[in-house]
Structure 1
């Protein structure tokens, strides 16, 4: 499995967990007032096109390619918990719902493009496209996932070692108070 695939699988897992929480919350009473979605400034068609091109070059769609089937499955499983006697029907309905909603995950890509267009000017997006097409940009696209993986691994290792340092500091300070922990 390539590194990019692993990163995208991890991102998909994170997204799936977040969406699973949304499914669970859907079964809870609605909150009194939900936080409003951030307002994005209007983007030109050229800015959106450049943003979509950047996302395509970064293979961002791999993060959400399975969003619809995953959410359908999570919803079905949540419904099964309180409707075990409908297992056969819910399994059959899940297939129908997934088929009816196939392709809706593209809304995620469109939203991501709008976010990029909100964060960068049209010219900056065009410059980024040019950069990603350059040899250095191509190298970045190819090696960044591995650098991110190694960085995450380093942060995890650092955190484990640092936690031991923090634990020792607690022990020293508590010992000064005459309390062994």
Structure 2
């Protein structure tokens, strides 16, 4: 369940960032330190920053696996080298958090970010983070079911009405399709 929540939140964030592509870090506006702090607080409340924690360990596992395939006799040494290198790269994690804060600061005002942080830090906001993706998925499924039912009924009723009108115009029922 927690994995699905992370995926749902990741998808929502990616869609938001992609949908607002006109805003970019490259075209970053000057924002105050307070504005960036509000953006970081919002990202933390949304749980986005904690998702960044998995990137380096996942990439280290991938690199270690790839190197072990090439050099199978050096598994212990590869483990040591990759772990040491990953630890050396860990401080760069803050760069990603800062970039995320800059992106949000370019899109939202400081006040809006504070409102987001307040809401998503609340019990209701946390419940929304946890269950929002589930509700969205179920709503999408309900929409799909409804659309299929409407398509079926529309087709059936339109066909019946067409047959009636053709029969009125020609005096005989059309051949079934």
Q: If the TM-score is normalised by the length of the shorter chain, which range does it land in?
A: 0.5 to 0.7
Match of 1:114 in 2: 102
**Which of 28, 35, 52 is 1:41 aligned to?**
28
Matches within 5 A, 1:15-164: 39-42=26-29, 43-120=31-108, 124-130=109-115, 132-133=117-118, 138-145=122-129, 146-155=131-140
Shift of 1:157: 6.9
Return the index of the structure with the highest Cα Rg.
2
Structure 1, gaps ≥5 residues long = 15-36, 166-181
Match of 1:168 in 2: none
Task: Please tell me whether the aligned partners of residues 12 and 64 of structure 1 are also in contact (alpha carbons under 8 angstroms).
Answer: no
Task: Please tell me whether the aligned partners of residues 42 and 114 of structure 2 are also in contact (alpha carbons under 8 angstroms).
Answer: yes
Shift of 1:11: 6.5
CA separation in 1, counterparts of 2:39 and 2:114? 8
1:41 aligns to what SS in structure 2? coil
CA separation in 1, counterparts of 2:81 and 2:142? 45
**Cα deviation digits, residues 80-119 of structure 1 (max 9, x gap):** 2333333232122122122222343222211110100111
Task: Please tell me whether the aligned partners of residues 25 and 103 of structure 2 are also in contact (alpha carbons under 8 angstroms).
Answer: no
Matched, 1:7 2:11: no
- TM-score, reference length from structure 2: 0.59
**Cα deviation digits, residues 118-177 of structure 1 (max 9, x gap):** 112xxx22233146436x9725422222022221244357668979x8xxxxxxxxxxxx
Task: Please tell me whether the aligned partners of residues 8 and 133 of structure 2 are also in contact (alpha carbons under 8 angstroms).
Answer: no
Task: Please tell me whether the aligned partners of residues 11 and 63 of structure 1 are also in contact (alpha carbons under 8 angstroms).
Answer: no
Task: Please tell me whether the aligned partners of residues 54 and 129 of structure 1 are also in contact (alpha carbons under 8 angstroms).
Answer: yes
CA separation in 2, counterparts of 1:152 and 1:161? 14
CA separation in 2, counterparts of 1:104 and 1:11? 25
| Runs of 4+, deviation exceeding 4 Å | 11-14, 156-163
2:92 aligns to what SS in structure 1? coil
Aligned alpha-carbon RMSD (Å): 3.7
Structure 2, gaps ≥5 residues long = 12-23, 152-177
Match of 1:25 in 2: none
